[in-house]
Structure 1
């Protein structure tokens, strides 16, 4: 109970952060619409696992090193931007025949394997410099320096699980029959829109 108030603060801050639109949100929307619920769920798990990467280097203080070493931080920004552009190209090339609206929400024939979706979700979050800044502030401003490492590790596991569950829920909601019927055979336009969003996020990373 000693760290309950600290945990509640972290949970609330995380809720606001994870609900904010970003690369993770864009890729989950794209997979849900274009590849179905199953693939989107794998990508969601990958996003959650990506959180563990940020937690790991935050626990050993590397987040501070990344932030205070301009060339290293810039390198991460450019790598992230390049990866987002790679994802955007695939989304922008979406065609009417790729829409999942006419196929079961639970399974569909797709070129994206569960393993690829998992890796893409992990890389999307793991290469996101905004997540680096979030965990930098989290572990310096909200978590007491005297908090035991084991407790910090528990916080990190919670954040990873909560993130994965949040995007799994989003994947489920976006691939329900009601949403699919609403989208109809125009699902590829939403996929293309997500591609534009990814391009915008990539440009923002290298221009800010």
Structure 2
């Protein structure tokens, strides 16, 4: 009896997750710069970050955040600062050393580091807070059993993780990465500029 509601949630989520944002930017950057393994772990981090939003939506904490300008702004500035940090870090990328192009080995990137990049980027995103709050208060009927709502949340986390795993798979292809090999530092700088722009845009997001 909850299939119609689930399909509505799935469709809205599909449209939201396919829209380029901070999550997409960091997964693409990790995949191109550090390879498929790093990109996949970043995707896992983004998917796990969804569970944070689901948890507080089910607990009702999201409602408090949405009604508190102070809490919302604190979350907003934390997220913006993090995006600016990784953006400026990417802007400082330098050209590969001479001879590095002959070595087809991805830079060493820890699974934990890649995972945490995805997790923090998604977990601190206040737009995701508002999205999940509206999803769990407007789209999902309040009378829907908590276990069913939790099931929706688990689906959203898994679907998000799988989507970004596909993104990581695409952008970590040898042919795609080869295209960025010689100009990799410029790609890093462009992605850094994108992340900085997203951070600035996020900083000026207003609570509605």
The normalised TM-score by structure 1 is 0.93
Q: Take 1:82 and 1:103, find their aligned partners in 2: how far apart are those partners?
A: 35
Contact 1:10-1:138 at 8 Å conserved across structures? yes
1:185 aligns with: 182
Contact 1:32-1:171 at 8 Å conserved across structures? yes
Matches within 5 A, 1:82-121: 82-97=81-96, 104=104, 108-110=106-108, 112-121=109-118
2:170 aligns with: 173
Matches within 5 A, 1:127-146: 127-146=124-143
Compared CA separation, residues 140 and 179, structure 1 to 2 (3 A): same
Give the counterpart of 2:150 among 131, 153, 159: 153
Q: Take 1:47 and 1:71, find their aligned partners in 2: how far apart are those partners?
A: 25
Contact 2:13-2:156 at 8 Å conserved across structures? yes
Per-residue CA deviations over 1:59-86 (Å, capped at 9, x if unaligned) read 0111111000000000000000111111
Contact 1:102-1:185 at 8 Å conserved across structures? no
Compared CA separation, residues 170 and 113, structure 1 to 2 (3 A): same
1:15 aligns with: 14
Q: Take 1:102 and 1:15, find their aligned partners in 2: how far apart are those partners?
A: 40
* Paired residue secondary structure (2:96): helix
Q: Take 1:55 and 1:20, find their aligned partners in 2: how far apart are those partners?
A: 19
Contact 1:49-1:160 at 8 Å conserved across structures? yes
Per-residue CA deviations over 1:20-50 (Å, capped at 9, x if unaligned) read 1111011011101111111111111000000
Q: Take 2:14 and 2:102, find their aligned partners in 1: how far apart are those partners?
A: 33
By how many angstroms is 1:90 displaced? 1.8
Q: Take 2:65 and 2:102, find their aligned partners in 1: how far apart are those partners?
A: 46
By how many angstroms is 1:89 displaced? 1.8
Q: Take 1:183 and 1:109, find their aligned partners in 2: how far apart are those partners?
A: 14
By how many angstroms is 1:102 displaced? 6.0
The normalised TM-score by structure 2 is 0.93
* Paired residue secondary structure (1:96): coil
* Paired residue secondary structure (2:182): helix
Residue-pair matches, total: 203
Runs of at least 5 residues in structure 1 that lack an aligned partner in the other structure: none
